[in-house]
Structure 1
């Protein structure tokens, strides 16, 4: 095992050149088939894993203070000396899924005596391999982690154009995976819908379908995340095309449908796993909600009502996010307004839209979606959230039947 300093970007290739059975998967470096001694004094093999985070085209070195560290995970039993006593590896029990397909049993935290950390991943993993494997060699001198087997290092195709280092650094890849491999839609790309897109685009959800027949105009720019240029506003681009293009540098499979949902095309929502309904027309909301309920497709409907108080020269109001699932839809009439367009047009013409409240509304909707999929814990399991800005209060109702009193 080499002792010379290694360029962090070259560490993986050196490990492979020396015969270690290595691969990079889900922003982790894996070294397989490392011999170790079990507590029963038997030689077995297990996998060592550590963070392998890429920032652009550069690999972040361990102990750089940028997310990586000197810790590793271990898939086997706790490594021991030949007599069955445990090695001192600064262990912390883990017993969890590190990312889909890899379950670890222990986490180790060990550095060479007098060292502040590791300059590269080669030095890091060979340090642990040496400590663990040397004990197995005392029982069987022929065992060696350098199997010479070469593994494919290509990642499975990701929806992201570059790695999601935020989830890797937070060690929540397995939790984030609950959002993957699904197809969602956002119907309506106004202020709230655009913020929902901003949040869902940063998850591993498989496809995001955008439905809206409006053009992206200057008032949309002041109610959407990011900053549109004057040229983009003057282009009079369909909203769905504009947003699909904006998020293309970050992720794949944001699909534009530059038209409104109506009775002739509502069937296009069939087969989706979840829908965010962000429309301001009662007839359209009723059409979409009825179709989704009839086809057992869960959805969140959002709404906002801000009013001007002339005497106080200030605003007050609420925003709402209502979750509807195949298991519970009997609350729809109580919380989702489906007035006629004539009645709603009068209200909407006077309704005020402000980006921060659009963002709050979107966050409530996205959080309910994530709770529905088990990403977030949901102790109250409520189906309607209403935030009042003047009271700074969040009202929750109703609960699922098994949680009702």
Structure 2
């Protein structure tokens, strides 16, 4: 337990000084032990929760214009007047839900001081709601108060992010986002598509993201990967894994660089991973990795792109593919994925890549992974997706269900 204040704090230090039991977790401010009256006229203790958003090291005040609002959540029974009638002036919605792991609320309140549009800081916001609610408890128990003086300010645990994920907090999807918090995920191959996969994974709460690639980051890579490399960064001739580690370490703490290819001598380094993205351009390497992951029971997604130049029109046509395999369903791989370097349909057979197709290939792959994790709803258990740029269209393959005669 710590009484260390956080500055700038948008009124937090005032709450501490006033004796409120406050805690910061997952971009939310929790106010514990607020006395209230239940419908059967008992005095109980509830918890008030509101957004506590940070931006650039500062706390955003709840002014109802910059992402925070004048509303709060409540964990407990609905507060009533001293006579047991509900406090209707607080009412907004009644939905029990988990705001983020470890924090479940029962109600949402909406109330503002008369003649105002919002609150200047969190002290004003918390005390307004607390005074309304606990005033009724004091009718029955005159000494009831949320200002217990018991400090419960909690330091945030070490996050995978260098700065807080305020996007998920503002959207109220912290619990859903937590489903993506796998321990170890690998991206094998950081070319055009693999680098965009990394870009998206770095914005998720995966604990460790391992990058495998033995290539150097060259000038042509700059035109088919996220962001904008400087001329100096290109001239440095870094390994791709080191270059991207330098870029994304500014956001995500859990990046691990492996500046070499996977082969028969080291493919066992994938042991113990929760998920693997395979973004390679060699059929033999893909087959080796497939074989190992299937034997280990590790789910994975393989991506592929096939763009060709039609010389008569000097236009490009082709497709990008996303294929998922799990220990339960993988018999479609041979049909969907080329694993022979001599195959006519081998990935990148004309070595044509374009950043937008690379990015789309990666986005489809990450979205399919998020469905696998339960982040997105999946009405169809799609094994294979193929986007054709010349149509444009997205074809999907779902597993067939055998019926009993």
Conserved? CA contact 2:21–2:150, under 8 Å: yes
The 3 A distance-change label for structure 1 pair 366 and 166 is same
**Hey, what does 2:21 align to over in structure 1?**
21
SS in 1 for 2:123: helix
Equivalence for 1:178: 179
Could you tell me how far 1:113 is from its partner in structure 2?
Answer: 1.4
Contact 1:381–1:400 (Cα < 8 Å) also in 2:
no
Query: Could you tell me whether the CA contact under 8 Å between 2:218 and 2:237 is conserved in 1?
Result: yes
The verdict on how the C-alpha distance between 1:381 and 1:348 changes in structure 2, with shifts beyond 3 A counting, is closer
Cα shift at 1:90: 2.9
Answer yes or no: is the 8 Å Cα contact 1:387–1:394 preserved in 2: yes
Partners of 1:170 and 1:390 in 2: how far apart?
A: 35
CA gap of 1:217–1:258, structure 2 versus 1, over 3 A, is same
State the partner residue of 2:190.
189
Query: How big is the shift at 1:77?
Result: 0.8
- Sort the Cα spacing of 1:386 and 1:74 in 2 relative to 1 into closer, same or farther, 3 A: same
- Contact 1:8–1:119 under 8 Å retained in 2: no
> Does the 8 Å CA contact 2:307/2:317 hold for their aligned counterparts?
yes
Question: 3-state SS of the aligned residue for 2:379?
Answer: coil
SS at match of 1:382: coil
| Aligned residues: CA RMSD | 1.7
Tell me the equivalent position of 1:355.
355
Corresponding residue for residue 94 of structure 2: 93
1:380-391 mapped onto 2 (5 Å cutoff): 380-391=380-391
Alignment of 1:66-77 (within 5 A): 66-77=66-77
Counterpart residue number, 2:252: 251
* 2:155 corresponds to 1:154: yes
**1:26-65 equivalences in 2 (<5 Å):** 26-65=26-65
- Residues 64-96 of structure 1, C-alpha deviation per residue, up to 9 Å, x if partnerless? 511101010000011001111100213211210
Retained in 2: the 8 A contact 1:53–1:165? yes
In structure 2, runs of 5+ residues without a counterpart are 1-6
Please name the residue that 2:304 is paired with.
303
Q: What secondary structure, in the 3-state scheme, does the structure 1 residue paired with 2:324 have?
A: strand
- Is the contact made by 2:197 and 2:362 (CA closer than 8 Å) also made in structure 1? yes
What pairs with 1:227-242 in structure 2 (closer than 5 Å)?
Answer: 227-242=228-243
- Shift in CA distance, 402/358, structure 1 to aligned 2, threshold 3 Å: farther
Q: Aligned-pair distance for 1:398?
A: 2.1
By how many angstroms is 1:256 displaced? 0.3
Q: What is the distance in 2 between the residues matched to 1:53 and 1:185?
A: 31
Point out the more displaced range, 143-152 or 200-209.
143-152
Matched-pair contact (CA < 8 Å) for 1:11–1:122: yes
C-alpha distance in structure 1 between counterparts of 2:318 and 2:92, whole Å: 52
Alignment partner, residue 372 of structure 1: 372
Comparing 269-278 with 80-89, greater Cα deviation is found at 80-89
Aligned length: 397
Q: Which TM-score applies when normalising by structure 1?
A: 0.95
Confirm or deny: 8 A CA contact 2:99 2:175 kept in the other structure: yes
1:301 match: secondary structure = strand
CA contact (8 A) 1:270 1:295 kept: yes
Instruction: State the distance in 1 between where 2:79 and 2:64 align.
Output: 27
The equivalent residue for 1:282 is 283
Tell which deviates more after alignment, 149-158 or 203-212. Answer: 149-158
Rounded Cα–Cα distance in structure 2 between residues aligned with 1:316 and 1:383: 23
Q: Label 1:403 to 1:284 Cα distance change in 2 as closer, same or farther (>3 A).
A: farther
Using the alignment, how far apart are the partners of 1:393 and 1:163 within structure 2? 37
Maintained 8 Å contact 1:8/1:120: no
User: CA deviation digits over 1:105-161, x for unaligned, max 9?
Assistant: 001111111111111110001110011101111111111101111114210110100
Q: Secondary structure at the match of 1:308?
A: strand
Q: 1:217 to 1:98 in 2, by over 3 A?
A: same
Q: Are the counterparts in 1 of residues 182 and 274 from structure 2 also a CA contact under 8 Å?
A: no
Shift of 1:277: 0.3
Displacement after TM superposition at 1:343 (Å): 4.5
Q: Provide structure 1 residue ranges, at least 5 long, that are not aligned to the other structure.
A: 1-6
- Aligned equivalents of 1:323 and 1:154: distance in 2? 39
